[in-house]
Structures are given as C-alpha cells and as structure tokens.
Structure 1
Amino acid sequence: MTATDTLMTKNGHELHIGFLGHGSLRFDCLGRTLYIDPVAMFADYTDAPKADLILVTHHHDDHCDPALIKQLLKPDGEVISTETVVGQLGYGTPMHNGEVRRIDDLLTIEAIPAYNTTAGRDCFHPHTGRDNGYLLTLDGVRIYVSGDSEPTPEMLALRDLDVVFLPVNQPYTMTVDQAVATVRALHPALFYPYHTGQTDFVTDLEQLADRLNGSGTEVRIRPMA
C-alpha cells in the first residue's frame, strides 16, 4: 500500500503525493498523474496509474528504470529528463539546467542543477550540468524535488517554496547539518526528507526533525528508504 499525503492547491483542488520509496514520488491532481524517478525495486507498480508525465533526475539505476518508465507511460504521455537519460531511453524530451517549461495551465517545470559540493564527492554528481532537480508549480503549489544534490547556490537562491524534498543518505547526498541549514534557508511550509536508504550509513531522521522544531517549517517523515 503506497503511503499518500493529500494537500490542497492554491486553487482549492486536492493534490495527492505518493511516496514510492527512496527517490520515487507520484503526484496526482485534477486527473493528471506525474511520476518522478519511478523505480520498480522500491515499490509494487502492478496497479499503479498510468503516467501523463514522467520526470527523471538522472541516469543512476536507483532513479532511472527504463522498463518501468515504458510500462507506466500513457500512449500520449511524455518523459522529460536529462540529455543522458533521453539518450539511454531512446525517446523523451531533454531539459537542461535552468530551463523553464510550461506544460499546460496546470503545470510549469524548472530544471534546477543537482550536484555535489563537498570535496571528493563530485565523482557521484559532478557540477557539469548533467543532473537535474525539478521545481514544479502545480496548480499554484511550488514543489521543489532536489534529486541527488548537496546544497548549491542555485538551490539556496530559491524562494516562495511550499513543499521541499531533500535527499539525506550518506555519503552521496546531504548530511543532517546540510539539510537543516538548507531548510532554514529555503523556509518552505512543508519539508519531506527523502532518498534516505540504500547505504550502510543510517540518517537520524528524528534528530533532523527535532532540529527544525520552531523553524516555521513542518517536517513530515514518510517511508522513503
């Protein structure tokens, strides 16, 4: 059973967020279904709704599952991703760092650079423009899904965010200290730590939530190992 939260959009419609494990998310609003980084190893997609749009942050196999993408996509659905992923799939639309794309009246997407900033970690996610995070404006709700990234100038410059997803598994993404500082800088209404497992280092999510008490940001911990 997929864990799901329901939020209200700025226009009074229900927005359902599905937590599909690790870095995989689903957003349902006004009859439209959007996936970010769906991967079969983290959830059962047997009865999952078909996708109008799939966004992929980068090509690593815990984020990009070509067989599942093909299975989920509606005949008229679209894949938007990086040049690397589009090349790997053999179809889809590339979106580059800094690019903004208006899909329709419901959804606008901005590609935010995703990369490591700690010395010695750039072998995972280099600062070359290769990988994306995504800023969604979905029926007026601004949702930032960072992908695999540490705090970057481009990330920290974002403002007026309603919902933020930041990755907190080590050694590939953010430490608790980095995540706390980033949430305090971005000051979203709602923060979800995600991408929390798949390594031998266990992130203390309760400590993360405790350190953000009184910050003005609600922290919700969902099953995203």
Structure 2
Amino acid sequence: MEIQKLNWAGLKITAHNRTVLIDAVEDFSYYKPVLGEAVEQLIKFSDAVQADYILFTHLHLDHFDVSVIKKCLKKDGKLIVYSALEPLVRDSVDGVEIIALDLDETFTENNITFKPVFAMDGIGEIQSSWIVDDGEKKIFHGGDTIWHNRFWKLGKENEGIDYAFLPVNGVVVDFGIIGLEYSPIAASLNLKEAFAAARLLHARKLVPIHYGLFAHEKYYIPEIFDDHDLESLSKETGQEYITLKDGDVLHEI
C-alpha cells in the first residue's frame, strides 16, 4: 500500500495495482466565504489520477468534490458510500456504479476491503469514518469527526490499524450565514483528542489531517499548534505519529 496525502483531508491510496481516493478535493471555491483563501498552494491531481474506487466521509464540499468524481473515476470504477448518504449521492452523481454499505458492513474487491464505521459530524450531518485494508496495511480515515464515545469500541473491533488519519484543527465555526447558531465547541477533533482517539484505536501511528490550509478570522477559527505540541502530546499519550505535507507520500510502508 502506498499512501499520498492530498489537499486538506484527501488521500490517494495505491494497493494491488488499484487506486483509491478518499475525501479527495481540488475545488474549495464554494466554501471560500467561510473557509477563507487557502494559505498554501493547492495540489492539482485530477489530470494524473484515474481511480478504481472513490470514498468520502460526508458531503461537505471540502470532502466531497463532484468534479473529481466525474474526472477521476474510471468508467468501470465504483463509488463506495455509507448507505445513509446513498440517496443524497445519487442526487449529485449519476451514471456511476455505487456500492452502498451500512456501518460495519464490508465490501472486498481486488484484495482490498472497505468498511464504513461510526463517526459524528460537528454540525449534526451524516458522516462515517472509513477503514481500508489491503491485507498488509490497514488505515483509518476520520474525515472531520468530532470526539465521540465509540473510539474504544472501534479499537476493539478493528485490530491492526497501522495509520489513523484524523482531523486535528479543533475548529470553532460561526455559520450563522447558513442558519447555524454560533457555538464555541469545536466542530472537529483537536490535536489532543486526535492523539487520544488514535491511542484508543490502537493505531501504530497518528497522521494528522484537516489542518493548516484554511482559517477565517470570523467564521472558521482553528486551534493553532506547533511541533512542540505534537511531541509533547505524543509523549503524554504514548502515541506515535508522523506528519505529511500535502503531496507527500508515506514512504515508511
């Protein structure tokens, strides 16, 4: 298994000569009024990627990019979706094969197993996390989940997770412009929560995602941290980690 970090929460996985995209997004323009401008150059990947499988954790447009699906999914490729999202996905995308899975249900093809598992969205919309296993390596992708009480259960039921890709920006949002009242409670895992979640998942390493690229002084306010915070929390929790910049490939596999 080879893993490349794409923009924000996106991953490109190559396993058994197949390509998998998770939360792969190129176009963030629709959310620019609330996310602000990207502070780093966005990765442009769609011209070079043809995917056998595309997954996404939820339908927020910083995780679900219809243009990537249309451009990157092979003609015989498959969208693999959490069943609760299937009707909404069919309204957005047509002409593709969709494999809909309930939570904890698995789909295996080409020696790769896909499994949606419980997650909680920060503003109450439908979300799952994903486990992808190629028989040699197993990864957990947490989208932008908040803290919840299932990490213990997920860790017990899904042994052998090598890498937990988890959000870490602990963002406080003020989305009154779309009808959501302000709350000071973070709408995604913060760094300390991500280390704790990775520990409960028994992941060999935490890989932080969903941080650094966007901030807005009024609408989207992330928690700020540095390398010292990463090292300190790693020692405190006993959880190892590795950081990837957008575009980096995880070479230690």
TM-score (norm 2): 0.72
CA distance in 2, matches of 1:132, 1:148: 9
**Aligned ranges 1:134-173 → 2 under 5 Å:** 134-159=130-155, 160=159, 161-169=161-169, 170-171=171-172, 172-173=187-188
Contact 2:52-2:77 at 8 Å conserved across structures: yes
**SS of the residue 2:196 aligns to:** helix
- The worse-fitting range, judged by mean Cα deviation, of 78-87 and 206-215 is 206-215
CA distance in 2, matches of 1:61, 1:210: 33
Q: Does 1:88 align with 2:92?
A: yes
Q: Does 1:79 align with 2:88?
A: no
The alignment of Structure 1 onto Structure 2 pairs a total of residues equal to: 202
After superposition, the Cα gap between the structure-2 partners of 1:46 and 1:187, relative to the gap in structure 1 and judged at 3 Å, is closer
CA radius of gyration, larger in: 2
Contact 2:101-2:115 at 8 Å conserved across structures: no
**SS of the residue 1:143 aligns to:** strand
**Structure 1 residue 97 displacement after superposition:** 4.7
**Structure 1 residue 224 displacement after superposition:** 4.8
TM-score (norm 1): 0.80
Q: Does 1:21 align with 2:25?
A: no
**SS of the residue 1:177 aligns to:** helix
**Structure 1 residue 100 displacement after superposition:** 1.6
- The worse-fitting range, judged by mean Cα deviation, of 75-84 and 26-35 is 75-84
Q: Does 1:125 align with 2:124?
A: yes
Corresponding residue of 1:218: 240
Q: Does 1:113 align with 2:118?
A: yes
After superposition, the Cα gap between the structure-2 partners of 1:185 and 1:80, relative to the gap in structure 1 and judged at 3 Å, is same
Task: Identify, as 1 or 2, the structure richer in helix.
Answer: 2
Contact 2:132-2:139 at 8 Å conserved across structures: yes
- The worse-fitting range, judged by mean Cα deviation, of 77-86 and 165-174 is 77-86
Corresponding residue of 2:199: 184
Contact 2:119-2:142 at 8 Å conserved across structures: yes
* Greater relative contact order, per chain length (Cα 8 Å cut-off, separation 6+): 2
**SS of the residue 1:181 aligns to:** helix
Contact 1:112-1:154 at 8 Å conserved across structures: no
Q: Does 1:175 align with 2:190?
A: yes
CA distance in 2, matches of 1:43, 1:176: 24
CA distance in 1, matches of 2:236, 2:15: 31
After superposition, the Cα gap between the structure-2 partners of 1:32 and 1:152, relative to the gap in structure 1 and judged at 3 Å, is same
Q: Give the CA RMSD over aligned residues.
A: 2.3
CA deviations on 1:115-164 (whole Å, 9 max, x unpaired) are: 14xxxx5xx234xxx21110111223221101121122333312322110
Contact 1:194-1:224 at 8 Å conserved across structures: no
**Structure 1 residue 63 displacement after superposition:** 0.8
**SS of the residue 1:219 aligns to:** coil
Corresponding residue of 1:193: 208
- Give 2:241's aligned amino acid: V
Contact 2:195-2:237 at 8 Å conserved across structures: no
Corresponding residue of 1:38: 24
Contact 1:141-1:162 at 8 Å conserved across structures: yes
Unpaired runs of 5+ residues, structure 1, are: 1-14
